């Protein structure tokens, strides 16, 4: 599938201070993808690494440890629908 749409931050989680942030990130993302919203995002992005990916960053002074961000490329139509089911 070809990369299309705009990059949208669909999920963010504070992982805290952990030894292996990739392991903790996969658990947090898995929990999100099992929600109604997460299932829709996965179905729309197809689990394709060109359309959905995650990043791990170091938190700021208010969030100690690591933060995981789940991104998805969405068309305007998908983004609008996602905003509606998110609420």
- pLDDT for 27-82, tens place per residue? 999 999 999 988 888 888 766 666 788 888 887 767 678 999 999 888 888 889 88
Q: Is the pLDDT of residue 19 over 90?
A: no
4 pLDDT band, cuts 50/70/90, is low
Report whether pLDDT(2) > 60.
no
Quick one: average pLDDT of 5-30?
88
- Grade residue 9 by pLDDT with cuts at 50, 70 and 90: very high
Q: How confident is the model at residue 1 (pLDDT cuts 50, 70, 90)?
A: very low
Give CA–CA dist 71/79, Å, rounded.
Answer: 12
How far is residue 3's CA from residue 11's CA, in Å, rounded to a whole number?
19
Q: Measured between alpha carbons, how far is 83 from 87 in angstroms, rounded to an integer? A: 7
């Amino acid at each position: 599938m070809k990369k299309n749409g705009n990059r949208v931050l669909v999920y963010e989680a504070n992982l805290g201070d952990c030894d292996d942030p990739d392991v903790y990130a996969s658990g947090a993302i898995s929990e999100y993808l099992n929600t109604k919203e997460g299932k829709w995002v996965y179905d729309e992005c197809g689990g394709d690494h060109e359309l959905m990916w995650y990043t791990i960053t170091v938190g700021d002074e208010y969030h100690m440890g690591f933060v995981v961000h789940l991104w998805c490329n969405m068309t305007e139509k998908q983004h609008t629908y996602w905003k509606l089911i998110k609420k």
